[in-house]
Amino acid sequence: MASDAEHEALRAKLRRKAGPGTRVFRVAMRVVSGTWDDGFIHAGNLAYMSLLSLFPFFIALAAILSMLGEQDQMGASIDTILRALPPRVGDVLRPVAHDVAAARHGWLLWAGGLLGLWTSGSLIETIRDILHRAYDSKKRHRFWRSRLVSSAVIFGSVLLLLVSLSSQVLLSTAETVISTLFPRLDGLSEQMALSTAMSGGGIFVSIYLLFYLLTPHAYQTRRYAKWPGAAFVTLWWLLVAWALPKVLQTFLMYDLTYGSLAGVMIALFFFWLVGLGMVIGAELNAALAQANEGTGVPVEFSAESGPMSGPND
């Protein structure tokens, strides 16, 4: 009897905390409905744009590194980006990425870099559209300003990549010193998975900055948290990168269906899953923001103050 009473008390507590009418329930339903309505379409669009923009981004990366005098970091930069992908996807993209980045010199590099900035900017604009739809915010047409912001985001991502490379060099040096001084800790250092931690940290910072910079202006204040969506996308990304190879080996035989295009289709499927996680993260941030407002309308758009505009509107 005591056990039944405890179970009933636990169920009542759960209903009070997460049952219908509670804030948790409203946020969860908002995320589910938003993802169901727009998630699959946006995930497909983001997967297509990711694959379309990836190699132009590497060309733009080569041009920016050349401008910064860091041409020697090109190969390591490509490997760092591909390390965040599943091994099968990275193996397919790596040789093509290195060839594309190394094939341009002089004016051809700069022309390709400008084209790469434009194409990669289209991916940033896709993410901006996802965020605006999640927040039910109408996007004002400021084409060139949006493109300048997208180019600045790409340039900033290259600088962040250089910082990540420097950090990885320092961590690798520290790991070598530790394994030399304390040989018994060598197995432990491998289990720490520093590369995974670095990849996860880089993904989180990148997604957080994207959400912060591309969220509609009315929701960019500290009142509306950006980290929940960024944390979800990071965990989702790492989970997909870890689980996808195992699922493909165990359940799916892509080689029998797509033949020589299997690697490309796996890459597209991976980007689709990441795009779905991106939509869920955007919907989560939007649901939390609008739950804080209660009415779903930010104070900047109240009848008294009128609409405010910003670079992301």
User: Is it the case that residue 174 has pLDDT exceeding 70?
Assistant: no
Cα–Cα dist 102/68, whole Å: 16
User: Is it the case that residue 277 has pLDDT exceeding 80?
Assistant: yes
Q: What is the pLDDT of residues 262-274, one digit of tens each?
A: 777 888 888 899 8
- CB-based contact 284:43 (threshold 8 Å): no
What's the pLDDT at 245?
Answer: 79
What's the pLDDT at 215?
Answer: 87
Cα–Cα dist 57/76, whole Å: 15
Q: For the CA atoms of 18, 19, 24, 27, what is the dihedral angle to 10 degrees?
A: 150
User: Is it the case that residue 61 has pLDDT exceeding 90?
Assistant: no
Amino acid found at 183: P
What's the pLDDT at 300?
Answer: 44
Place of tokens 């910082």: 163
User: Is it the case that residue 296 has pLDDT exceeding 50?
Assistant: no
What's the pLDDT at 182?
Answer: 54
Amino acid found at 228: P
- CB-based contact 135:38 (threshold 8 Å): no
User: Is it the case that residue 312 has pLDDT exceeding 80?
Assistant: no
- Report, as an integer, the average pLDDT of 299-311: 44
Q: What is the pLDDT of residues 101-130, one digit of tens each?
A: 777 677 677 777 777 777 777 778 888 888
What are phi and psi for residue 189, nearest 5 degrees? -65, -35
Task: For the chain, report the end-to-end CA distance as a whole number of angstroms.
Answer: 59
